[in-house]
């Protein structure tokens, strides 16, 4: 008796369908991550070294992206800028999402006065415009890297809280959560074993979107002079310090802007084209 081919066997198979746009975006993101990790080893010139007698020099064999307003290598400064832009943004969004998701799930499960008080406090914080809040805080305490990370994380914690709480409230009404309550399970078990696994996908997508928001806000603060301080600079600061070359089409102001755009657009495209789990129907 002949064995049926594997494609003719009844059953369900699960897999992931790759998306070309999503894979391309992932490659760009991974490229910037590698650059951020190894920037000090791959930059051809020191970020503070003046290598060109002219300012806003054109692209050449020695200076791939030209020189900036002081004659420094733009390519080296963009590579090092990736270290600060990605590092500060990633640290801030991790703190914001971890705090917001933990508080949101706790509020949804605990309910009562804890939920009411925490929601009202974070709603009040969320009502303050993010750029205005960032400007006031950074101008008051200084623009050190820890201050930038703390400010950005505080700004985006309320949004992560509201998103996670909304998801957790829906899951909290499910039968399996009710069964766990009847068994006498405590709050940590309900959050870690029942709520979190069922909201993890949307939370990760929200994490990516908030990372984009943090990158843009950090770049905006740096453009206003409140970001990473000289001689080092993130991409927003590179645009600001070379803005005088814009009428000449200087590479020193164009390529940092393209770096910001490539990272933020790639993260958005990756989120929009996340691999979807597909089910192959059995062949009768």
Q: Tens of pLDDT along 175-229?
A: 888 888 888 888 888 888 888 888 888 898 899 999 999 999 999 888 888 888 8
Q: Quick one: how far is CA 181 from the chain centroid?
A: 35
Q: 3-12, 72-81, 133-142, 255-264: which range is least confident on average?
A: 3-12
Give the separation between CA 76 and CA 67, rounded to whole angstroms: 10
Give the CATH fold of the 17-273 domain.
Answer: MetI-like fold (1.10.3720)
Give the separation between CA 146 and CA 151, rounded to whole angstroms: 9
Total-model pTM: 0.84
Give the separation between CA 72 and CA 252, rounded to whole angstroms: 10
Mean pLDDT of 157-180: 89
Instruction: Give me the residue spans of the domains in the chain.
Output: 17-273
Whose CA is closest to 98, among 204, 213, 214? Answer: 204
CB-CB contact of 171 with 194 (8 Å) = yes
Give the separation between CA 222 and CA 239, rounded to whole angstroms: 9
Calculate ∠ Cα 79-95-273, nearest 5°: 65
Give the separation between CA 98 and CA 92, rounded to whole angstroms: 10
Taking 90 as the threshold, does the pLDDT of residue 248 lie above it? Answer: no
Q: Please give the mean pLDDT across all residues of the chain.
A: 84
């Amino acid at each position: 008796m002949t064995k049926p081919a594997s494609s003719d066997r009844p059953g369900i198979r699960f897999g992931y369908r790759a998306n070309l746009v999503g894979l391309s975006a992932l490659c760009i993101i991974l490229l910037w991550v590698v650059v951020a990790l190894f920037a000090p080893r791959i930059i051809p010139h020191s970020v503070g070294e003046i290598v060109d007698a002219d300012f806003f020099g054109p692209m050449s064999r020695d200076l791939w992206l030209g020189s900036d307003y002081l004659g420094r290598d733009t390519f080296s400064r963009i590579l090092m800028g990736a270290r600060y832009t990605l590092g500060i943004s990633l640290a801030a969004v991790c703190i914001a999402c971890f705090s917001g998701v933990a508080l949101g799930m706790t509020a949804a499960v605990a309910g009562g006065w804890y939920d009411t008080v925490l929601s009202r406090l974070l709603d009040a914080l969320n009502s303050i415009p993010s750029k205005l809040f960032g400007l006031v805080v950074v101008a008051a305490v200084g623009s050190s890297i820890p201050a930038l990370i703390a400010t950005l994380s505080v700004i985006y914690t309320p949004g992560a809280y509201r998103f996670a709480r909304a998801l957790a409230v829906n899951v909290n009404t499910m039968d399996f959560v009710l069964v766990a309550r009847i068994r006498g399970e405590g709050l940590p078990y309900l959050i870690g074993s029942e709520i979190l696994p069922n909201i993890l996908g949307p939370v990760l997508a929200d994490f990516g979107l908030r990372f984009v928001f943090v990158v843009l806000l950090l770049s905006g603060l740096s453009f206003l002079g409140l970001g990473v301080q000289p001689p080092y600079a993130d991409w927003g600061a590179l645009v600001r310090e070379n803005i005088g070359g814009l009428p000449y089409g200087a590479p020193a102001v164009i390529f940092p802007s393209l770096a910001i755009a490539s990272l933020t657009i790639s993260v958005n495209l990756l989120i929009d084209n996340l691999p979807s789990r597909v089910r192959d129907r059995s062949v009768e």
